[in-house]
Structures are given as C-alpha cells and as structure tokens.
Structure 1
Amino acid sequence: MACTVSCSRVFVVRCSASPSGGGGGGNAVRVNGAAHRAPLQVGAALETSINRSLAELSPPLLPLLPTDDAGEERSRQNIPTEKQTVDPFRQALIVEGGVRYQQTLVVRSYEVGPDKTATLETVLNLLQETALNHVWMSGLLGDGFGATHGMIRNNLIWVVSRMHVQVDQYPIWGEVLDIDTWVGSSGKNGMRRDWLIRGRNSGDVFVRATSTWVMMNKVTRRLSKMPEEVRAEIAPWFIDRHAIYQEEATDKIIKLDSNAMYVDSDLKPKRSDLDMNHHVNNVKYVRWMLETLPDHFQQQNQLSSIILEYRKECGSSDVVQSICQPDDDSIPPQEDVSMAIGPSLSPELISGHHSLAGALQHSPMKYTHLLQLKAGDKYEEIVRGRTTWKKKSYKAP
C-alpha cells in the first residue's frame, strides 16, 4: 500500500509498505525520497501526527484586522507583539539572559561567487538580516526598517553612521553558520551593534563586525536625538561587549578628489537598490566601491577589512561617482609575496610571467574610497571607506 500526504507547502511525506523480509523488520517509510525504518502510519493518523507537529512549531498568528492595512500586513508577516525566545522558522534563539540573538543558517548557491565562497555583499546582507530578526524577536518591531514602536510614534528611522567588518575566512557554499548579534550604547544618542559569524562545524570565528547607528527623522531627513521612550525600549537589551576588541586606527578617513587613481562616474541606482526606507541600501554602496578596483587585483586578493563612514543618503534619481586611491605604503615586501604564492609555483616560473610577477609584487594592499553624488556643479559625500586586502593562496592551473 502507498500513500502521499501533502501539508500546506511545508513538506511532503511519501510512504510505502514493504515485506518485513523474514527477520521481523519494520516498515520502510520514504521521506522526500529517502528510506527510513519506522512504524507505518496511514490515512488520518499520519495527517493528525503531521498537523500536531506543525502546531507545536508554529507560534499563534496575530489577529487579522481586515479593515486595517497595517494590521493585515503585520498578520501576514506574523510579527510578534511580545518578546520571543525561539523562532523555529529562522533557526533562531534569544540567549544570554534573553538579550543576545543567535541564528543558524546555510550559505546558499546564489550567495557565492565563482570561487564558491560567500561574497562580501553576502556577508553584509547576513549582518543586516540578523540585526532585523533580532528586533523582530524582541517584540519591539513596528512597521519600519528595524524601527521600534516608540520610533514609529516619533517618525524616526535607523541609519548607520559607521561600520567596521573584519573577515578572517569567507564561508563556502553549503556551509552551516552560527551568527550572533547584540546591541550596546554609543554615546547619548547612538546605538552600537556587533556581530560574530562562526562555522558551525569548526567553531572558528569567520567574521567580526561592529557598527554605530543613529536616528533620522523620516520626514525632515535630519538626524534626531533619541527620545526617552525609545531609550526605555532598547536600553534593557544593551550588552557591554565588543566583537572587535582592538579596532583599527579610528582617525577620520581622508577625503579624496577626482585626481585619484581610479574613478568611475555616472553610476545610477536601480529600483532594486532601494530599501524599505526608500534610499539606496548601504550594501549597494560597497559594490560601487569595490567595482572600481581592477579585476586582476580582486582575482588575486581578498578583502580582509573594511571601514565605512556614512555621510549622506542616496536616492533613486541621484548620479554617483566612485573614487579610489591606493596607499603606496602598503605594498608588501618581496618575502611576503613569496609566502603568499607558496610552493606551487617556482620563482623561475613567476619571473617568466611578468604580468603575474608584477601584479603580485607591486599591488598596494590598502585603499581609500569615496562615493559622492552630483548636486548641480558640485559633489556631496555619501560614504568614505578604507579597505585592507590580503593575498589569496595561488593554485597552479
């Protein structure tokens, strides 16, 4: 006898009965094509068991408010109105006394580049997603991009003012990751958010990141002080801990001009670049910055650190210019180049390929970046950046 039970887009169980084979074995059950030995349940009994399991996993839906568009949207999103400690659908938990957020996920095929490793954009998107999910589980999320209920009442949104990301190792396709994030105070009117990304199997820390956030008035687009009701909402979640213990020099990043070595003008945002706050998402800025660097440099090196200082938001109608200048003092010495190449290539082979030798020996490993938008006859800064790179391990073809 065979049966198929489908259950609300979640999974499909196909089961088939087979003879016990003379040894008193059980029944063979196939779940998504894989054989498992289990007592056979059929018909109503199996469906009841599945529905019971789903009910245990699913938090109750918020009441549907058909006459209120905002209420209906929240019901579809299933945004909790009270603090949650477990989110089974996101593989997430609130831990450490109920303040630190931890999520487990898998690197998917569309999040990696040609070398099967996650791109920097993927890393930044994961940081953003887990930050929003943290607010989601806190029960404080309103209808904005991570805005709390108090922020909604005061017409405020979050904007990032500074971000620093250190990458020790890039995750690979199919790797399981544990991401931790938490928040802390930053001065009188700001909030700090930190992240750690670890490999689930090894426990090694792949990425460390820290950021500073301030509030902006949604209507005037001006920075705002933190209202007391908002401080009262988020202060109980603050942890005095840093993901990056010894930050790189915090000196202000210098402002470049159009005489820099690399300049890419007439960049225009697409509709898909906009976020829920109707400005270009900060992850898109990083793409514009990195695309200014030559392809051969990025093929032979990987980014190990990026610092971003945000100055102004960018809209869909703006025209952007990306400028980049290498730090000539960051050219690695000859012995560092040899160590990066490893034993796979002999010195004679390298010297025989002048383009390879030149690229490996003379590329600076630190760069200063600037994104600016054209405003009439002048340019206004969007974000300044500083990137640090390291050699990839070279493999002979």
Structure 2
Amino acid sequence: MASFSCPVPYVVRCSIAKEGGDFNRQRYAKVNGGIIRSISEADLLSRSAKASRALIPSVAENGFVVKEDVRQKIPTKKQLVDPYRQGLIIEGGVGYRQTVVIRSYEVGPDKTATMESLMNLLQETALNHVWMSGLLSNGFGATHGMMKHNLIWVVSRMLVEVDHYPIWGEIVEIDTWVGASGKNGMRRDWLIRSQATGHVYARGTSTWVMMNQQTRRLSKMPEEVRAEISPWFIEKHAIKEDAYEKISKLDDKAKYMNSDLKPKRSDLDMNHHVNNVKYLRWMLETIPDHVLESQQLSSIILEYRRECGSSDIVQSLCEPEENGILRDVDMIEDSEISLLNGFSLASEILKGGGLLGSFDNGTLRYTHLLQIEGEAKNEEIMRGRTTWKKKVTTTIPFSTQ
C-alpha cells in the first residue's frame, strides 16, 4: 500500500492500492476504510499541487508568482530582527549584525574561507543592512530617493585586513555600519568575528559614491537621499587610516601579466557591470603559485577607476614590491640573492642557514592593475595592492576589538 498526503484546505490521508505500473491508471481511494471515488495518482498529485497554490493568492495557475515584491517581501519600515537571514539591528538601532555559517563552497583546499568568499559576505551583509532599514527600493541596495533620481551605489575604494580566516562549518558574526565620507560619499565598515570566542578575524572599510544609472557618470548626493541615510551614520571606524597609501600605475613592463580576460554574463551584477569580486579573482590569478601555496593574503586595497562591461577585454598586471629584505619570493630560486643594503649572498648559503627562516616570517607585497585593452590606449579599471604573510597553523586569533 502507498500513502499520499493531500495538501488541500483540509488534509485527507488517502491510501491507494498499487496495481501495475500505469501512473494514470484509475485507482479507488479509500478514506477511513471506505471507497469514496475513483482517482488516478496523476490526478491526485495535480489536485494537490493546485490546492497548494490556492493557499498563496499571489501565485498563478501555471505556478509562477505574479508580483516580484510578494516574493521578496522588502520591508517598508525598519525591522529589528530578521529570522530568515539570522540578522539583527545593533549599535543603538543603526548597525547590523548577521550570523553566518561558512559553507563548503566558500572554502579552498585548506578548508579555510577564501578572500573572495569574505568579500561576498561583506557585500551580502551590506545589502541586508539596507534591507532591514526599510529604505530599500527595488534596486541593488538603492534607497527610494536614489531610485527617484535614477542613482546607484558604486564602490570607489575598499580595504580589507585579515588576521585569521574562518574554517569550514565555523559560525561567524559580521557587523556592519555606515558613516559619512566627505560631502557626497558614504563609508561602510565591517568586522568579522568568531561567535565561539569573540575574536576579530577580519576588518574592512570602503567608500561609496553615487552614479547615474543611465549616463554612467558620478553624481552628487541629492538632499532627499542625504535625509534618508544620514540618520544611520555613526562615527566608528573598523580601520583607522590617517592617509591613503599611494598605489603606482603599472605599465607593460610588469613582471606578471594575464591578457585577453573576458567577462562572462555570470560575472555581471544587478547594476549590469562586472562585480568587484571578479576583479579580485583576476588580480589573484597573476600571483605565482608558490606564493599562493605558502603565503596567505593578509590585506588588500582596491581603488576603482571605472566600471567594466560584458564586452570589454581585460588585462591584469602584477609587480612585486620591495619589502623588507627580499623583493620577491622568486629571488630565492636565483643563483644569487641581492639584499637591499647592497650585499649579495649565494642562495645555497641562505638555504643552508637560518636566514631563510627570517625571510619566511616577513611579508610580501604586490602592486596590481586591471585595465581594458583598447586599440588606441588602455583604460584603467582598478589599481590594487595585496600583502601576504606566511601561512600559520595556529587556531588562536588575535584580538577581540
């Protein structure tokens, strides 16, 4: 005997005798031991599906939802708790905290979250913060006032520092909040911490400006929009920067280069330009494999110059910077290693002694450039700087503030 549950306005438990393999063959449905009528399994499932859809008035007969806003249920008023996203409002009613579990597809071969995954989580929590505020319109994080003026947010600069990468299955809390950045910009900061210990794993800060969605030109902040978002501004910094580091522009003499990079349709976000996480991936693809295997990315600075579209051809350049004693890890493989103070030592002496260990404890820095390859000239998309340190196996993070 096979048992079916029928999701109709009142639930009836039906038992149907199995006779042969014909799915559409008529059966006698029994309820409480009595035969009520002839019915096929296909008809029963069809009626069940229709009954389920009937419970949701916004769903059409073909199973597709009629209105997008019914599916999204974007709040029109400020929410304090979001049980679906494990989020809540903090910082006196203006900050946002979301609890997330590191998924299997967010980690690399070493079972730790990747920088790309962290960047995606930062973006997601930023959008959910706007969602909870009640200011979100139907744009990609745009408020009602921004939609009225046809404006979208674009990030102009981002800095992320990582002390410790969360591992697969670990529960972390991500705090985010916003503040003013000049007259026409907004600063957004983040903290990522372990829920179990409270230790801070990573910090991030970013600057956002507005762009007209049609002209693709930067725009001043309308007073209507300022009135919407300024009550959410607080004077708190995840990373205190006294002055921005200058990132030099690379040229075709850069040591590492990847050319003919083509965005895929899946790389575009809801603002119809290449997502900034894709830029990060293009940057990291120029880092030598032995660095990726032995070092971990401890900080990244991204300075965005222009957007990249689906038809653009991109070139990624990378140049190691002079840092501490060694300019680049590749120099270890050379027959002779030149030190910054002018002395030279044979590589076999370094490998046989204790100096190599001191090199491992240092940091490596690389300058990056993404540009659109043009017939007449190349156009900058983004400049960046990555800092790398020796991978450690310790599970004890660094601070709780």
Q: Report the TM range for the smaller structure's normalisation.
A: 0.7 to 0.9
1:328 alignment partner, one of 322, 325, 329: 322
1:202 alignment partner, one of 197, 200, 215: 197
Q: In 2, distance between residues paired with 1:149 and 1:83?
A: 14
Q: In 2, distance between residues paired with 1:358 and 1:378?
A: 44
Q: In 1, distance between residues paired with 2:250 and 2:86?
A: 43
> Do residues 216 (structure 1) and 215 (structure 2) align?
no
Asked if the contact 2:297–2:387 (Cα under 8 Å) also holds between the matched residues in 1, the reply is yes
2:289 alignment partner, one of 295, 307, 317: 295
Asked if the contact 2:172–2:195 (Cα under 8 Å) also holds between the matched residues in 1, the reply is yes
The verdict on how the C-alpha distance between 1:359 and 1:220 changes in structure 2, with shifts beyond 3 A counting, is: farther
Output the amino acid matched with 1:168. D
Asked if the contact 1:332–1:364 (Cα under 8 Å) also holds between the matched residues in 2, the reply is no
- Match of 1:340? none
Q: In 1, distance between residues paired with 2:324 and 2:368?
A: 15
- Match of 1:228? 223
The verdict on how the C-alpha distance between 1:320 and 1:362 changes in structure 2, with shifts beyond 3 A counting, is: farther
Output the amino acid matched with 2:247. I
* Distance apart, 1:190 and its partner CA: 0.2
Asked if the contact 2:262–2:310 (Cα under 8 Å) also holds between the matched residues in 1, the reply is yes
- Match of 2:303? 309
Alignment of 1:1-397 (within 5 A): 72-245=67-240, 247=241, 250-331=244-325, 351=351, 365-393=364-392
Asked if the contact 1:330–1:366 (Cα under 8 Å) also holds between the matched residues in 2, the reply is no
Output the amino acid matched with 1:164. L
Instruction: Output one character per residue of 1:215-234: Cα deviation in whole Å (capped at 9) or x when no partner.
Output: 00000000000000000000
Asked if the contact 1:85–1:94 (Cα under 8 Å) also holds between the matched residues in 2, the reply is yes
Output the amino acid matched with 1:388. T
Larger deviation, residues 370-379 vs 188-197: 370-379
Output the amino acid matched with 2:386. T
Q: TM-score, normalised by structure 2?
A: 0.74
Instruction: Output one character per residue of 1:325-383: Cα deviation in whole Å (capped at 9) or x when no partner.
Output: 111234459xxxxxxxxxxxxxx9x9479xxx699669960111000001222100000
Q: In 1, distance between residues paired with 2:67 and 2:318?
A: 46
Q: In 1, distance between residues paired with 2:88 and 2:4?
A: 33
Q: Secondary structure at the match of 1:172?
A: coil
Q: TM-score, normalised by structure 1?
A: 0.75
Asked if the contact 1:63–1:75 (Cα under 8 Å) also holds between the matched residues in 2, the reply is no
Q: Secondary structure at the match of 2:323?
A: helix
The verdict on how the C-alpha distance between 1:202 and 1:6 changes in structure 2, with shifts beyond 3 A counting, is: farther
Q: Secondary structure at the match of 1:216?
A: strand
The verdict on how the C-alpha distance between 1:89 and 1:135 changes in structure 2, with shifts beyond 3 A counting, is: same
Which ranges in structure 2 are unaligned for 5 or more consecutive residues? 8-55, 328-347, 395-401
The verdict on how the C-alpha distance between 1:4 and 1:174 changes in structure 2, with shifts beyond 3 A counting, is: farther
After superposition, the CA RMSD in angstroms is 3.1
User: Which of structures 1 and 2 has the bigger CA Rg?
Assistant: 2
The verdict on how the C-alpha distance between 1:280 and 1:70 changes in structure 2, with shifts beyond 3 A counting, is: farther
Q: How many residues align?
A: 320
Q: In 2, distance between residues paired with 1:389 and 1:378?
A: 32
Q: In 2, distance between residues paired with 1:141 and 1:6?
A: 39
Q: In 2, distance between residues paired with 1:152 and 1:140?
A: 11
Output the amino acid matched with 2:183. K
The verdict on how the C-alpha distance between 1:361 and 1:92 changes in structure 2, with shifts beyond 3 A counting, is: closer
Q: Secondary structure at the match of 2:67?
A: helix
Instruction: State the percentage of identical aligned residues.
Output: 68
Instruction: Output one character per residue of 1:109-149: Cα deviation in whole Å (capped at 9) or x when no partner.
Output: 00000000000000000000000000001011111110000
Instruction: Output one character per residue of 1:8-64: Cα deviation in whole Å (capped at 9) or x when no partner.
Output: xxxxxxxxxxxxxxxxxxxxxxxxxxxxxxxxxxxxxxxxxxxxxxxxxxxxxx996
The verdict on how the C-alpha distance between 1:351 and 1:279 changes in structure 2, with shifts beyond 3 A counting, is: same
Which ranges in structure 1 are unaligned for 5 or more consecutive residues? 8-61, 334-347
* Distance apart, 1:295 and its partner CA: 0.7
